[in-house]
Chain A
Amino acid sequence: MSRTDVLVTADWAQENLGTPGLVFVEVDEDTSAYDGGHLEGAVKLDWKKDLQDPLRRDFVDKSAFEALLSSRGIGNDDTVVLYGGNNNWFAAYAYWYFKLYGHQDVKLIDGGRKKWELDGRPLSKDAVERPATQYTAQEPDLSIRAFRDEVVASIGSKNIIDVRSPDEFSGKILAPAHLPQEQAQKGGHVPTAQNIPWSKAANEDGTFKSDEELEKLYAEQGFDDSKATIAYCRIGERSSHTWFVLRELLGKNDVKNYDGSWVEYGSLVGVPIEK
């Protein structure tokens, strides 16, 4: 696995729009961006409506994921090329999610929607319809997903990476600052967690930093290569961005995303919190 296996440039994406066997997928929470203009031929996934269980706080299950991909016209043999807004946060989440359900060939467009827009590349408003498929998912690969008990048990032993902003890590604010700051959970972070914000791994245009810069960043922050790693944020999408960097770009072993993240951890009764 190397960078070119999992990450494509905007140039590559633009040259390959419409190539058979490639399915471009835009992933956002608010799909008004897609609806107002998207990559030619790209289908959309709504982070909340399509990828979250409508009742419980969890993923959609295997059969619902199969039905979703089948209805979007994504086949098991297709190469899925993901991109989205918010510096690819939700696209990285979808990448992790596709991997969890065993999709073989998934890639991210470096810089996502932001770089595409800043470059002035073409967007289309045409409706996209693909013939339905019969998609078959694998059982969830839990080697890349952490749950709360494992996080608590990992305090002081694993690399626990809190990828939120320093002000969220310290408890000064409870959510990224584009959201109102009224939340039920306590402020702070998991004891022994290192604060390595996701944003340090990205350039201002949303592209990932080079492998050399990324290796240097984590080494300087005290990342221990000999330990397993759990990344978390508030709801698990920014930590998917860091999971992508650590596991897919840098090839670190045993990296999990804790998608319960601070919204869950900061609401648990009795768990230790540092501030």
Chain B
Amino acid sequence: MCGAPKQGGGLAGIDLSTQTVIQGQVWHDGAPVAGAYVRLLDGTGEFTAEVVTSPEGEFRFFAAPGEWKVRTLAPVGKGERVVTAEVGLNETTIVIDRVRRRPPPVGGGGRRHSTPGGSRLGPASAGRGRSSG
């Protein structure tokens, strides 16, 4: 019944002749951002879905043809991108610009590209797109 799709991974089993897939990665400071929240907004700016990026910073949505906005929110900052999607695969990258932040505490480790909980998932598993909605 309701799959809880993992973020990232192959497209096997997804019918790209009917599905409108919007997928990509979130980047910051030259590296992918794991554990970033990525939401898909419709043409009016209304929330449609939200996922959490995989350890490789990947996200994936199943939408419909048209104009969408992909917005990310992470401890390192925010970014967004407008995507005009068609049936099939639509790929995009969202870059979170550098923002001035307080330096990490001495000896504390910056944890720039991880979630606050550290690497919660092993390299074999992907991020969380967990819900049936």
Contact = CB atoms under 8 A, between A and B. Distances in A.
Contact of A180 (B44, B62, B120, B128): B62
B132 to A, nearest CB: 5
Interface in A118-167: 118-123, 165-167
A215 interface: no
A274 interface: no
Most chain A C-beta atoms within 10 Å of own C-beta, residue among B48, B75, B133: B133
B103 interface: no
A44 interface: no
Contacts of B121: 32, 36
Interface stretch (A64-72, A75-83, A101-109, A230-238): A230-238
Most chain A C-beta atoms within 10 Å of own C-beta, residue among B14, B18, B64, B116: B116
Contact of A177 (B2, B3, B35, B48): B48
Contacts of A189: none
A179 B73 contact: no
Interface string A158-191: 0000000111000011011111111000000000
Contacts, number: 142
A36 B48 contact: no
Contact of A85 (B46, B52, B64): B52
A86 B50 contact: yes
Interface residues of A, number: 46
A237 B130 CA distance: 13
Contact of A86 (B44, B63, B131): B131
Interface in B48-67: 48-52, 60-64
A120 B116 contact: yes
Given A120-B75, A177-B61, A29 B48 contact: no
A28 interface: yes
B133 A179 contact: yes
A211 interface: no
B49 A176 contact: yes
A37 B50 contact: no
A120 B22 CA distance: 28
30 contacts: A29-B2, A30-B4, A30-B130, A32-B125, A33-B120, A33-B130, A36-B121, A90-B131, A117-B116, A118-B37, A165-B42, A165-B48, A166-B46, A173-B48, A176-B48, A178-B5, A178-B40, A178-B49, A178-B61, A178-B62, A178-B131, A179-B3, A179-B5, A180-B3, A180-B14, A180-B62, A181-B19, A182-B19, A197-B46, A235-B2
Interface of B: 2-5, 14-15, 18-20, 22, 35, 37, 40, 42, 44, 46-52, 60-64, 73-75, 111, 115-121, 125, 128-133
Given A29-B132, A86-B50, 18 more contacts: A37-B118, A89-B131, A117-B115, A117-B117, A118-B74, A118-B75, A120-B111, A121-B116, A123-B118, A167-B64, A173-B64, A176-B131, A176-B133, A178-B40, A178-B60, A178-B129, A237-B131, A237-B132
